[in-house]
């Protein structure tokens, strides 16, 4: 392989490096040849180490993740590898879109040359004149300190903010998945993918499940083959 001698700070992170490798070697982002990508990536990280660069943890973490995907894809039954690959693909597409948008934004910065002015003084004094209850301060303090004990499960709306309008349409999948699980139903994981029309549809569904699991909204149990998925607060309700 040709000599690589760019610097680590050229890349914004492991995702950026992966995208670079994918484009440089003309790999198909929608069907990443994982073995090839792992080799390229690990080679690159190794060279950095040889050059005594202080490698950020994220780069090593990604290396570990890629190697894991490679390992499971060598198993005779490698559904898990496919899923992990799809997950990575979704993330790469998302980051690629993000870079593209960043690039577009960087070409329309004329407005940085427009200046505005401070409000004209002497007309009003800005002393605050509204009245409030002390409790509003207490609530604000608890909110700021971030340690308020939450007794209620977060409202569904709060998830919309995390997953809303993702570059891949994960938000709609979150509501679809949640809808399927309403009423405490236990649903087979693979059945969530029924009716998916495209690959990105499935990736989005998968990411939606991950997002919901991460925010402890749903539980996943069973074997890797086809676990079942259930809403967490529903579980609690039943137990009580």
Partner 1 sequence: MNSNNVMASLEAMLFAAGDPVDPAKLAEVLDIDVENVIKILGHLEAMYDERGGGLRLIRVDGKYQLCTREEYSDDVRSLLEIKKNTPLSQAAFEVLAIVAYNKTVTRSFIEQIRGVDCSGPVSSLVQKGLIEEKGRLDLPGRPLVYGTTDRFLRCFSLNSLEDLPDLPEEEKKDDSQTSLFEDDNPDNDTEKKEDE
Give the footprint of partner 1 on residues 68-87 (CB under 8 A).
Answer: none
C-beta of residue 45 within 8 angstroms of C-beta of residue 11? no
Q: Tell me, by CB under 8 A, how many residues bind partner 1.
A: 87
CB of 5 to partner 1, least distance (A): 10
Answer yes or no whether residue 117 interacts with partner 1 by CB under 8 A: yes
| Rounded-to-integer distance, Cα 237 and Cα 240, Å | 5
C-beta of residue 69 within 8 angstroms of C-beta of residue 5? no
Which of the ranges 78-86, 106-114, 180-188, 228-236 carries the binding residues for partner 1, by CB under 8 A? 106-114
Answer yes or no whether residue 1 interacts with partner 1 by CB under 8 A: no
Q: Which of 2, 50, 110, 194 binds partner 1 (CB under 8 A)?
A: 110
Subset of residues 131 to 160 that bind partner 1, contact rule: CB under 8 A: 131-138, 140-150, 154-155, 158
CB of 17 to partner 1, least distance (A): 10
CA angle 218, 197, 172 (to 5 degrees): 40
| Rounded-to-integer distance, Cα 105 and Cα 103, Å | 5
| Rounded-to-integer distance, Cα 229 and Cα 211, Å | 13
Kindly write out the interface string for residues 159-198 of this chain, putting x where it contacts partner 1 by CB under 8 A and - elsewhere: --xx-xxxx------------------------------x
State how far Cα 134 lies from the chain centre. 39
Contacts of 72 (CB under 8 A, 6+ apart): 78, 80, 81, 84
Subset of residues 18 to 77 that bind partner 1, contact rule: CB under 8 A: 20, 22-24, 26, 28-31, 56, 58, 62
85 vs 96 by CB, closer to partner 1: 96
């Amino acid at each position: 392989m040709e000599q690589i001698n760019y610097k680590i700070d050229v890349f914004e992170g492991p995702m950026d490096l992966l995208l670079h490798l994918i484009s440089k070697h003309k790999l198909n982002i929608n069907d990443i040849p994982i073995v090839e990508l792992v080799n390229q990536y690990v080679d690159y990280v190794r060279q950095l180490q040889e050059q005594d660069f202080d490698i950020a943890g994220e780069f090593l973490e990604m290396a570990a993740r890629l190697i894991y995907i490679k390992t499971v894809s060598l198993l005779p039954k490698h559904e898990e590898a496919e899923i992990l690959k799809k997950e990575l693909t979704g993330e790469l597409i998302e980051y690629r879109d993000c870079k593209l948008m960043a690039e577009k934004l960087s070409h329309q910065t004329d407005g940085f040359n427009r200046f505005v002015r401070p409000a004209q003084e002497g007309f009003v004094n800005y002393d605050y004149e509204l009245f409030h209850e002390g409790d509003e301060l207490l609530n604000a303090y608890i909110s700021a300190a971030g340690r308020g004990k939450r007794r209620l499960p977060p409202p569904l709306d709060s998830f919309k903010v995390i997953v809303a309008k993702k570059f891949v349409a994960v938000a709609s999948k979150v509501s679809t998945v949640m809808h399927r699980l309403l009423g405490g139903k236990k649903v087979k994981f693979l059945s969530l993918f029924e009716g998916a029309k495209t690959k990105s549809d499935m990736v989005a569904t998968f990411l939606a499940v991950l997002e919901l699991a991460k925010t402890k909204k749903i539980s996943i149990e069973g074997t890797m083959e086809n676990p079942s998925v259930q809403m967490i607060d529903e579980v609690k309700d039943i137990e009580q």
